[in-house]
Structures are given as structure tokens and as C-alpha cells.
Structure 1
Amino acid sequence: MTTTDPAGQAEPEDTEARTPPSGPALSANTFIGPTALQVGTGNTMNVSYRITRPLPLDAAADELAAAVGLRWEKEAGLRRLLEPAPLPVRWQVSDRKLAGRIGAGTAEGARARFPPLPGLAAATREDLRRGGGLRELHALYGGLASGRLLLVGPPAAGKTAAAVLLLLDALRYRANAAPESRSRIPVPVMLSPHGWDPGADSPADWAAERLAREYTLFRGRDGRARALELLGSGRIALFIDGLDEVAGRLRGAMVSALETADFRLVLVSRAKEAVLTARRARLGGGVAVALQPVRPDDAAAYLLGPLPRTPPPAWRHLTRELLEQPGGVVARALSGPLAIALLRDVYDDTGPVDELLDTGRFPTPRAIEDHLLDHAVAAAYTARPGRPRPRHSPETAERALRHIAARLTEQGTRDLSWWHIPSWTDHRPRAAALGTIVGVLYAALGIAVLWQLTDPLWAVMYGTACGIAGGVVAGRAGARPDGTQPLPSAGWRDIFNPSTVRIGIHHWFWTGTVVWLVFWPRDEPIPLWLCYLSTVPVGFSATLVCGRGYELVAGTFIGVGSGSWFDNVREHHSSPPVADTRSIGPWDVWLHHVRLRMLLGLIVGVAAALLVGPIAVWVHGFPGGLASGLLAGVWTALLAGPVGNLGVATALTAVQLAAREGTPVRLMSFLEDARRRNLLRTTGPVYQFRHARLQERLSRPAQDPEPEPGTRPVRPPPDA
């Protein structure tokens, strides 16, 4: 392309003026332009560009959306919600008295509390009457004037699965929106109400604390403040799943507190518990929608989807029964996503699935569901093409899960808190083993060190005495019953936050100065550099005592002050827990205890050796001082490392359970594997059985085993 000057001469266009300036790509920016302005006689072109940088909160919301999407895409894959295509989600407005009037939710003729999301229309009464599927559910979520949606249904109705699919749809809708509209579309975040005390924390404070624990974006006080800003500005919408698992009075208090929340809400609950909650407290402006049973034609299409074009006869018989007898036993049993998913897990493509048509063996829908639940564990741990090879046999897995289910049912809970596992066995064998190991190590070290300093007989006597004393103390320390909930993370930033580090430096400087002044009048005063070197552990221990690492030094001689006197200091200077990973679950917390807290325990031992050794060497000479520092360091490292470590106690308990109950030795690894196989799930820092009915079924006393699927096949009906 060329331009013409006033003299009529053709000249090439100034392409450099039309090309945007080069440089690094700007992510999540808004570009407006180019704008061309031709001035003068037509031979000059000025091009202006305007680049609008995203606001800090918008950038934080975008980063949070990416983290949430990554987490729940993975979770949806574990639940097999995306592949094959999920069962259709259908809903209708609940006819039960679960919330206020519908008019309060749609705010027709009144001022809406939340405007519709960009690109969506305001929800109306007619929309609610029609009901619909997942697409209409998202439109209701984004167009409801009250911003309060209750998703209810009977047990095993697929409530959590529907909430996960809705969350992923909301994330995709936000990602596809125009940049100028994206800031007005909140990021959906799913949380569990586990651990929330509505009498102590407002909904925003509680949500900000949970976000700080689960996402690195919100680490530290600044991160928590950023989370509060996102919540207060409506850039986050909360999906709260598991409200029905909270005690009645506490559940009512939570619902009452959520009425004042400044962000959109989606509450997921069983219908029965929602009705009981509504008698105490109703969510103002909330609209309750109930998930509908799976239609027989949808169930048949889902079951036949992964099969060849010409399905095996057994599957044709079953699906024909579904379609021809929509009110029959099989159709009623397969009216929920749980039973349908279990059916695909228990029976492979060539399995005798038509044995479920035997009304003698399976007279009721409950009998079919029990049959599927009884074989769920074996199906999950049976090797199949395209799936990871199981690490445990079906018999071992079922034995372990039965023991766990019985324990939880006996305690009246669904939460498997791994730090409570040490209470499942007698602590005395564990304490004896730990004391013996520590005693032998300490005695051997004491004899080896003292052998060079004194008579061999005295070395053996003193070393043995040290070993016995150390073993007794370690055994008593390791025999403590299960502790309280551990830190959500034992990360470096949790323990060495700037506030506690400043306290440690202050203590180190003044302690070193005082030690030098005390020894200065001697004939041979200790050098100032040695005083500061030997008092470094004082600053280190002060950092731990005043922060979240106080448990590491409690009970050791460098942990003086780690009792209740320092509680107020610790509360003031400890920052909110920080996660070293994108999301924190039970496995992550256990690994933090076993790995990082063990390493910190060794560092505490080094600090003790450094506290005692240098001055002892200066006063008593090299051999004696070195021996004193080495013995003090090893002893402290053992106490601060493995002896008081909840992760180690859990691992030792797993060995006891394996010897007594036949459960896997690596119990925590087994629990994580069971989660990946869709038998367990995580709720915050605890495990739960994926379905309450599965825990109920496994907790029953062992009876005569039911025949494996297909061992007593029923004669199939004639093929059509």
C-alpha cells in the first residue's frame, strides 16, 4: 500500500508508524486501538495506542480462577464427571419450605441485591417454574437477584457432582467473557464448612482464612487482606458443600450468619437436613432447587455410551428393562448417579450385569444398591486396562476400609482425622519401641564420645546411663495420646515469618551482649564473636517459641518459655497458616510433618549443639566441649524430630494396625490411593468416605461373603 504526496509522487507507506511497539507480551491487559488520525495535507499518519493494565484485584481474581480451575478439573477427572459425558443434571424448584418466598429471590419489581452477571438475564418466576438442566442452572446462578441458591436432593442424588459441574461452567463462562466484563463475574470457590465457628468469625473472615490456607495467592497477612477485598467486592462466589454434615444448632447458626455475606452463595445439602435447618434459620432471599432423579432413558444412554455399537447381550437386556419398565425395581435403583456409577465400576463390558434382573436375589432397589456397594471396593482394586495397577489386593483394601469405617461409625463421625489414628491402638508398644531406638542410639553415641575422654569402664557406665535415661524420657514423650489438629502447613513461611524473625534477632543480639558482659571480668574473657556465635540458638528458639514452630522445641531445654506465658505473644506474632501447594489436603499435611518438621527438628538439635559446644570448648578444652555439644545436639534433635512428631506416631500406629488387623503398613499412602480410586474424598484436612452409604455398608460386621457378580447368573430373557 502507498500514499501520494501533494506533488503526485508515490512513496511507500510508513509501516513502522502502523506497527505496535514491540516488547514482552502483556497478559490479561485490555487493548483499545489503534486509532488513526490523519492531519495536514495527508502525508502524515499518527497512530495512538492505549493499554489499560488490570487492577490488582482483577489480576488476583484471574490468578485465583486459574488455580481453582486446575484443582477442580483434576477432581472432576477423579470422579469421572467429564469422561465419559456426564449424566444430565435436571432440577426443579423445591416444593419444601427450605427458604423464603421466591419473590424475595427474584426481586421482581424491587431492587436486586446482585445484578445479573454480564451476558445473562435476570432470573424470573417463569424461569424457576420451568426448571431445566445444567445450562439453566448456571443462568439461575448468575441471574438470581438475591445471589442465594440452595442445591438440595436426597442422599446419593449427585449434589456434589452437580455443584462441581456448575462451578466448572461458571469458570468457563468467566474465562470466555470480554476483558471489560470479566471483573464483574465472580470466581466460584468451593469450600467445606468444616471447622467454622460462626459465633467467632464472620463469613468473610472465615472464608478469607480458608483461602489463605488453601491457595498460595493469599499467603501472609497481605494475602488474607487481599482475600477479604475480593470477597467484599463480590469477585468471589462461595460454593459451600457439606452443610448437612454439620450438627443441627451449628448449621442453623451458619445459615443465619451467611445472610449478611456480601458475595454470591451456593449451598449444597441433603433435603432432609435442609428442612430441619429451615425450622431454625432460613436463608433470606434463598431459592431452593431440588435435583431430579435420573430418567431411565438418560441412564440407558449413559451406560451404553462406552460400549461398542452392538452392546453385549447382558447390557442390552438391562437397558431394555430400564426403558420398558420405568417404574420397575432396576429403574428405581438406577435413578441416582451413585448407583449408575457403581454399576459401571462393578461390571465390565462383558460382565453379567443382567443378573440384577433376578427379582429373587434383588427384590428391592435397596438390595441392588447394597449389592453394588458390597462390590465397590473390589471393583476399585481390580486391575483393568487403561487404569493404574492397584498397589493392594482387593482383600487387603476391603479389610482396611472396613476397619476404618467401623472406627468412624463407633466414634459417630464421618471425618477421618489422620492425627487421631494413634489413638486407635495401645500406645505402650509404640512408646517402648521409640524409647528403645532412642536409648540405643544415645547410649552408643555416649559410649563412643566418652571412650576418648575417660576410662573405658566409666565411658560404658555413663553412656549406658545416658541411654537408659534418654530412652525413658523419649518413651514418655512419644506416649502422648493423639494431639489436636496439626498446622495446616508446616512450611518455612509459617514458622519464620518476618515478625517472629525480628523477635529472634532481638533476643540473639541482647543475649550475646549479656553473656559477653558476664564473662568479661574473667582473666581470660570470652571473645565477643564467640558470645554472639554461641547465642545464635537463643534467637532461633525465640523465633520458634513466638511463632508456629513452638511445638518443635516444647519440652526441650532450648524451648524454655514455650508454655502458656508466651501464648499471647504467639497469637500476636503468628501469621495465618501458609500453604506450600495450591491446595492443602490430609496427605500434604502429613508429608509436611514427616519431612519438613523432621528437618526442622534436626536444625533444633544443631542449635542446641551450637549453644553448648563453643563455650564448653573454650572453657573445658576441645575434647570435652565437643562431647558436650554433640550429646546435647543429638538429644535435642531426637526429641524435637521423631519423638514428638504426629506423622511419625501415625506411621508407627500403621505398623501396629498392620500386625493386628492386616491393614497396609503404609496406611497414609493407602488412604491417598483410595481417594484417587474414588472411594474416599478430602474435606479440608480430613478424609471422608465418598458416600455415607458406603461407610454405613462397610461398617457392618463381616458376614458370609456375597457371591461375586456372575457366579449365579440368572437366565436372561430372550433377545428381542
Structure 2
Amino acid sequence: MTDPAPERGGPVVFNGPVALLRGDHSVQNNYFTVPVPDPVELGAQQLGREVLKQWAREAASRDLLGPEPIPVRWRATSGGEVADHAERTEHPGGASSADLASFAAELSHPERRRLVVLGGPGSGKTSLAVLLVIELLLRMDAGDPVPVLLSLASWRPAEEHLAGWLERQLLRGYPYLERGTVRELIGRKRILPVLDGLDELPAAERPDALDALNDALAEGVPLILTCRTDDYRAAVRDSSVLRKAAVVQADPLTAEEAAQYLLRVATPQHRERWRPLAEALRADPSGPAAEVLTVPLMLWLCRTAYARPPRGARPDGDPAGYPGGEPGELADRGRFPDAGAVEGHLLDSLVPSVYRREPLPPPPVGRKESREAPWEGRRTDPERVSRWLGFLARHLERRGEPDLAWWELGTAVRLGPRMVVTGLVCGVCVGILVGPVDGVGAALGYAGPGTGLGPRLVHGILMGAADVLINAVPTAVAFGLAHGIGFAFRGGALEPSRVRIRLGRGAGRARARSGREILARAGLGVVGGLAGGLGIGLLQGIVRKLLWDDPLALRVGLVDGVIYAGMFAVAAAPVCAVMAWCEAPIAIESAPGPRELLGRNRRTVLLQWLMFAPLFGVAIGVAGWPAVALFDGYLWGIRLGWSIPAGLRFGLLTAFGAGLGAMLSLSAWGQWTVFARLWLPLTGRLPRAAMDFLEDAHRRGVLRKVGAVYQFRHARLQQHFARPPTSPAGESSRG
């Protein structure tokens, strides 16, 4: 018998979403339904809201959400060189970026959630991807996959499974998510990866990436992929097209479409400002202005550069030199005789358009408020950004190649000044490391006249300062020379390396350095050891002479210098050779992204320092005793003394100081630290957070990633920024 209202309640038993209320003797009294939310669904909905906020804000900053988007036409492709069989793709018909509903409707079908977006540079592939993500999120219902836009540049398909990479990217970009929730979302195919930039992977890895993506598609994973048309065509020749994926390609705009767009986006009050340019495009569809403005990127730059009407005039009455000139001037063949002149004029407005002065948005959920670097956010000074980008572009022009590698930034400084800067930084760092330690030891062991803390402190400070000088000067000379010799021997910058020693199954697999490289590294150790040891000994003698007026100080310093030089050279040669043998060069063309490669090399260098500095120090401490015994009394009659404890202390301090100097002067990470983190920011040629600046420029579309290096998004963009900064500030272009 069922009692709908029992006087004494029984236990409630949950069975999924159904709850049973049991009475006495386990008699079912009633039941009711309680909705139990699925944590994966909750995670998907929360992720969708955060992704929508993120990309809606980004689309607004890129001016993609205006009432009149650029009408790029996307043409569906079947078969041929870039698409699968027509009966497998069920591709969407041709459409325009102004009508994303057709794309979103097709991609909302469970069997049609695969799309490849192709186009040339500046055709709007990334913009389409951003707008598609927003449209799909607005249409998202319970159970639908969450579209997440990710850059492919950091994926290494030969080393990392797509699911593992997706998990890492989601946890990094949306840190409030739990790892278990992310794995459930990926496992249940509740993530729709929108992968931007297959062309930003190294060319050798693009076929592997397509193979991995096809494996994922075989498991039913939805996917949207963007790539440059030529790069995709080359990749599928060595692999396969993305199976069962619709392919759309961007068609170039016509001069008539560009003219109509410019008139539509203008407000009624300002439409007449744009009419002369629109009429010129229609009258001369093959002219320089039309040739440039049929590229979506340039059309957007034109709209942005001339968004404001003139607000003043130059003394000669010409308003063109002020921000917000008249757009009709682009059709003036006298001022802009060819497409390059029009393009250059518009490119001048790129930095002010992309790096806008706007308030910073709040940080994403799970992220702390960042300490704003000088370039960060949207309060950036466009003039400084242009100067930094110009420095990078001129650096690439001098090198004659498009790849911007972080380990080569130091070569932007000529070899002579670079040796001086490297030596100075090494000397200062070693002095700071060794001087305080010796100063504390001298204060603790003080046995001179006077008692109390004061005399001890004075003695310790004097001895510490003397040791800073004694160690810094020869270190600067030795490692400045070592850097110059190493650069001349290699004929270029030091490249990142890794430690090839592995335990267990990974042992011995990495390719070792050649015998010539190992001998060269040993030779650098000999040169550095001789220069450093002789310099330290001589400076010790000079300091003794100055502080205590010892008549034998210079002679003793010379003897010390000879012995130190021999000890350092003998100890440094095998240690440097073993270090070189333990290293393996990294194949840059298949390396991870720039920041990841920088982190790997930093860990390698620090590991080598901690591994080999104690070995070098013990070698000096132990080898010093027989050297002193051998030369005792035979060099100008100077009697020598040496003890193992004092020798070990001297050897370890020298070793860690020398290791620090070697890190800064003879490693890729050290040169990055000296120049990209210290010297170039100090001289105003880069911001102090250089890697963050490069990543931010990539996110804003100024740079692109190709494996471990950056490139300017277009060769024309690099040429534009590489121009010498000769124009006065008052005569700069629009924007």
C-alpha cells in the first residue's frame, strides 16, 4: 500500500535522477524525480560561456562584429588537389563572411562537423574561424560540442597525440577546468577543435599532422582547420586530404565589392568622404588602389586608417599629413603610382590599428591579474611597437632570411660590441656571485687589530669588493674572447642544445656532437682557463700591492697567475669536452614552439651548470696541490702554500663563477638573456619581456609561427618595417 503522506519519513534512495522514499518494512511510499546535473555538461556550458566572452571581446577589438563585415566569398571545393570525394563531404554551398548562418547550420549537423578553410595570406581565414566560433557558440545546445579556437603552432604531431595536446592547451588556456573534466570533454567528443594555422607547423611535420588528424576523424572527432592554400596543397601530396571534411576557399574580392563595402560601412554623415575612392575603384578596377583593396586585410586597414575625418591642416593648407586624411587620395596616381606605394601607405597604419589604446579587459576566469609590461594590453604606445618591429625586420633583412629565431637576436649587435657586452655581463655576474661569499668568509675569519662587529664588517666589505674586482675583470676578458672565438669558429650564433644522456630505454639514442665540435669546445676551455687564471693571479698581486704595499706582491701575483692558468686550462679542457659530448643539437626544423624551445635550453644549461661546476671545482682543488708542490720555490724563489680545504673552496667558487660565465657567453639561452633580456631592452630596441612581445605580436596577426621560429605575416610587411626610420614623427602616415 502506498502512503502519499507518511507520518514518519523513511530513507531517500537515489537511483540516477529518480529518488524513492521508503517507509517501514521497505514499503515504497512515493517517488519523485530530482534532476542531477551532469558535471561534464556543466563543464561544457561553462567553457562555452568563457570561450564566447573571450572571442567576442577579441572580435570586437579586431572590428569583426560590425554591422557590415567584409564580404569575403567562400567557394566550396570538391575533389581536385585539396578535397575528398564529393559524396563523402556533403559540403556547404558557396557563402560569404557576411552570412555565417549557412556555415554554422551545416556544421551543427552531427555528420558535417568537419571543415577546412583555405586561402592566401590576408584572405581572412583566422577572421572566419573567430566568427564561426562565435556563431556556433550562440547556437550551442545541450550535448553539442564546444568550439575552441587554438593555434596549431605548438603541436608536435610526431611527439604528442592530438588528445594530449588538446588537453594541455585547454588546461593552459582555461585553468579553472579540472583535468578530469577536460579528459571527459575530449573523450566524449564534446570539444570541437578549431585549429588555426596548419601552415605554421614546420613543413616536414604538416603531413604527420594530417595523418594524426585523419586518425582522430576516424574516431568521430569534429574539426575545423585553417591553412594557406599552397601549403595545404603541398602537405596533402605527402599525406592525404582531411577525410570527409568540407573544403572552402576564399575568392578574391572584386573592385566593385570593395567599393560597395566602403560605402556601406560609412555612416550617412561621412559617406561622401568615401565616394571619390569608391568611384575610382569602379572606374579603374585594375589600378593600384583596386589591386591593393581587393585583399581583405588591406581593405580593413583602409577603413581603419581613414575612419576619422581630418581634424586639422598643415601650415601649407594640405590636410593629408594629419591623421584621418581623405580616403580618395589613395586613387591619386601622382602620390601612389603603383600598388606598392598604396600598400606601404596602408601598412603604416597597421600598428596603430592592431595595438589600440584601449582599457585592459578583466583577466579570464582562473587567471590572476597580470603585472602589465610596457607593451602589454591595449594601452601600448604604437610608436614604440613600430620601433621594436622595425628593429626585428632590419635584423632579418641583414641576415637575408625570413626566420626570426630567438637565439639569433644577439647577432643584431656587431661582433666587437657583442664581445664587450658579453664580457661585461659575465664579469659583473661572476663578481656578484663570488665577492659576497669571500667577503663573508673574510669577516668571519678576521683576526686583525680591533675587536667587535665594526672592524669585521669593514674588513669583509673591503675583501669582498677586492674579490669582485679580482674575479670580474679577468672573467670579462676571458669570456668575451671565448664568445668571439666560438662565434668565429661556428660562423654563426650558438643554437639551442639538449642533454643527450638518458637513463633506461632512452639512453644513447640522441645524436652526439662531432669530434671537431668536441675538440673545439675543449680548446675554448683551454683559452678561457689560461686567460682567466692568469688574469686572476695578476689582479690579486695588484690588489695586494695597493692595499698593503707588499714589495713582492706583483711577483707573487705573477706566480699565482701562472699556476692558476695551468690548473684552469687543464681542468677546463676535459670538462668542456665532456659537456660537449653530453650535448645533442636540436633539429630546429622540427623543434617545439619558441617559448618551449627556450625553456628546454634553459633547463639544459642549468643542468649542465649544476652537473659540471662541482666536477670542475673538485678538479681544481685536487689538482692544485701537486701543481703547488711541483713549482714551490722554483718560480722567482716564491714559496707557495696550498691546503685541500682551501683549494676546494677556491675551486668550487671559481667553478661556479666560471660556469656562470660559460652559460652567459657560450650558450643560446645565455646569449638570449644577455641581449634580449638585458642589452637590447636597455638600448630601447626591444621590450624587456621580449618573448611575451613576440607571442603577443603573433596573437595580433603581425607575426606567424613556423615551428620554433617566427616570421612576419607577409614578406611585404617585413620589407615595410625594415625601412630606415627617417620620417619625422609629424609626417608619419594615417592612424
Q: Does the alignment reach a TM-score above 0.5?
A: yes
- Aligned CA-pair RMSD: 6.0
**Cα–Cα, structure 1 residues 69 and 649, in superposed 2: closer, same or farther, change >3 Å?**
farther
Verify the 8 A CA contact 1:303 1:344 in the aligned structure 2. yes
Q: Secondary structure at the match of 1:259?
A: helix
Verify the 8 A CA contact 1:597 1:641 in the aligned structure 2. no
Q: Deviations over 1:21-58 (max 9, x none)?
A: 9xxxxxxxxx989x999xxxxxxx97834122314x44
1:188 matched to 2:148: yes
Map 1:438-453; keep pairs closer than 5 Å.
438-442=429-433, 444-446=435-437, 448-452=439-443, 453=445
Match of 2:93 in 1: 128
Which amino acid in the other structure matches residue 245 of structure 2?
G
Shift of 1:226: 6.6
Which amino acid in the other structure matches residue 405 of structure 1?
A
Verify the 8 A CA contact 2:83 2:242 in the aligned structure 1. yes
Which of these residues, 63, 78, 89, is aligned with residue 80 of structure 1?
63
Match of 2:83 in 1: 99
Shift of 1:135: 1.4
Q: In structure 2, what is the Cα distance between the partners aligned to 1:267 and 1:592? A: 29
Q: In structure 1, what is the Cα distance between the partners aligned to 2:494 and 2:81? A: 43
Q: Deviations over 1:496-529 (max 9, x none)?
A: xxxxxxxxxxxxxxxxxxxxxxxxxxxxxxxxxx
Match of 2:296 in 1: 337
Q: In structure 2, what is the Cα distance between the partners aligned to 1:638 and 1:218? A: 45
Which of these residues, 199, 213, 217, is aligned with residue 258 of structure 1?
213
Match of 2:496 in 1: 484
Which amino acid in the other structure matches residue 252 of structure 2?
P
Which amino acid in the other structure matches residue 404 of structure 1?
L
Which of these residues, 253, 256, 274, is aligned with residue 315 of structure 1?
274
Verify the 8 A CA contact 1:90 1:134 in the aligned structure 2. no
- TM value normalised by structure 2: 0.57
Q: In structure 2, what is the Cα distance between the partners aligned to 1:641 and 1:58? A: 54
Match of 2:226 in 1: 268
Which of these residues, 421, 428, 440, is aligned with residue 437 of structure 1?
428
Shift of 1:78: 4.0
Q: Which consecutive unaligned segments of at least 5 residues does structure 2 have? A: 22-28, 310-324, 361-376, 449-458, 487-492, 500-571, 573-577, 585-591, 619-644
Match of 2:244 in 1: 285
Shift of 1:151: 0.7
Shift of 1:208: 4.2
Match of 1:544 in 2: none
Which amino acid in the other structure matches residue 653 of structure 1?
F
Which amino acid in the other structure matches residue 273 of structure 1?
D
Verify the 8 A CA contact 1:92 1:128 in the aligned structure 2. yes
Map 1:276-675; keep pairs closer than 5 Å.
276-280=234-238, 281-294=240-253, 299-300=258-259, 303=262, 308-311=267-270, 313-322=272-281, 330-350=289-309, 351-362=325-336, 365=339, 367-377=341-351, 390-391=380-381, 393=383, 397-408=385-396, 416-425=404-413, 426=415, 427-442=418-433, 444-446=435-437, 448-452=439-443, 453-454=445-446, 465=470, 484=496, 649-650=671-672, 652-654=674-676, 656-657=679-680, 663-664=685-686, 666=688, 668=690, 671=694
Which of these residues, 22, 30, 34, is aligned with residue 50 of structure 1?
34
Q: In structure 2, what is the Cα distance between the partners aligned to 1:36 and 1:463? A: 80
Q: In structure 2, what is the Cα distance between the partners aligned to 1:98 and 1:194? A: 24
**Cα–Cα, structure 1 residues 140 and 364, in superposed 2: closer, same or farther, change >3 Å?**
farther
Shift of 1:234: 1.9
Shift of 1:104: 1.4
Which of these residues, 141, 154, 172, is aligned with residue 107 of structure 2?
141
Which amino acid in the other structure matches residue 693 of structure 1?
R
Map 1:154-169; keep pairs closer than 5 Å.
154-169=120-135
1:695 matched to 2:718: yes
Q: Secondary structure at the match of 2:427?
A: helix
Q: In structure 1, what is the Cα distance between the partners aligned to 2:386 and 2:192? A: 39
Verify the 8 A CA contact 1:64 1:187 in the aligned structure 2. no
**Cα–Cα, structure 1 residues 152 and 466, in superposed 2: closer, same or farther, change >3 Å?**
closer
Verify the 8 A CA contact 2:393 2:719 in the aligned structure 1. yes
Which amino acid in the other structure matches residue 97 of structure 1?
E
Verify the 8 A CA contact 2:425 2:674 in the aligned structure 1. no
Verify the 8 A CA contact 2:201 2:706 in the aligned structure 1. no
Q: In structure 2, what is the Cα distance between the partners aligned to 1:320 and 1:297? A: 9
Q: In structure 1, what is the Cα distance between the partners aligned to 2:60 and 2:420? A: 42
Map 1:31-46; keep pairs closer than 5 Å.
none
Shift of 1:92: 1.8
Q: In structure 2, what is the Cα distance between the partners aligned to 1:211 and 1:413? A: 34
Q: In structure 1, what is the Cα distance between the partners aligned to 2:154 and 2:358? A: 36
**Cα–Cα, structure 1 residues 168 and 430, in superposed 2: closer, same or farther, change >3 Å?**
farther
Match of 1:492 in 2: none
Verify the 8 A CA contact 2:95 2:102 in the aligned structure 1. no
Q: Secondary structure at the match of 2:421?
A: helix
**Cα–Cα, structure 1 residues 418 and 163, in superposed 2: closer, same or farther, change >3 Å?**
same
Shift of 1:434: 1.7
Q: Deviations over 1:92-142 (max 9, x none)?
A: 213753112111113xxxxxxxxxxxxxxxxxx6x4367883111122333
Match of 1:40 in 2: none
Q: In structure 2, what is the Cα distance between the partners aligned to 1:682 and 1:416? A: 9
1:173 matched to 2:139: yes
Which amino acid in the other structure matches residue 448 of structure 1?
G
Identity %: 26
Which amino acid in the other structure matches residue 137 of structure 1?
F
Verify the 8 A CA contact 1:78 1:678 in the aligned structure 2. no
Verify the 8 A CA contact 2:75 2:249 in the aligned structure 1. yes
Which amino acid in the other structure matches residue 239 of structure 1?
V
Q: Which moved more, 1:286-295 or 1:414-423?
A: 414-423
Q: Secondary structure at the match of 1:290?
A: strand
Q: In structure 2, what is the Cα distance between the partners aligned to 1:597 and 1:66? A: 40
Which amino acid in the other structure matches residue 277 of structure 1?
A
Shift of 1:159: 0.9
Q: Deviations over 1:179-211 (max 9, x none)?
A: xx34xx24434231445244x444444444555
Verify the 8 A CA contact 1:442 1:635 in the aligned structure 2. no
Which amino acid in the other structure matches residue 484 of structure 1?
P
Shift of 1:423: 4.5
Which amino acid in the other structure matches residue 244 of structure 2?
G
Q: Secondary structure at the match of 1:267?
A: strand
**Cα–Cα, structure 1 residues 675 and 216, in superposed 2: closer, same or farther, change >3 Å?**
same
Equivalent residues, number = 550
**Cα–Cα, structure 1 residues 343 and 187, in superposed 2: closer, same or farther, change >3 Å?**
closer
Shift of 1:165: 1.2
Shift of 1:275: 2.9
Shift of 1:640: 7.3
**Cα–Cα, structure 1 residues 385 and 363, in superposed 2: closer, same or farther, change >3 Å?**
farther
Q: Secondary structure at the match of 2:278?
A: helix
Q: Secondary structure at the match of 2:34?
A: strand
Which amino acid in the other structure matches residue 62 of structure 2?
R
Q: In structure 2, what is the Cα distance between the partners aligned to 1:67 and 1:485? A: 39
Which amino acid in the other structure matches residue 104 of structure 2?
H
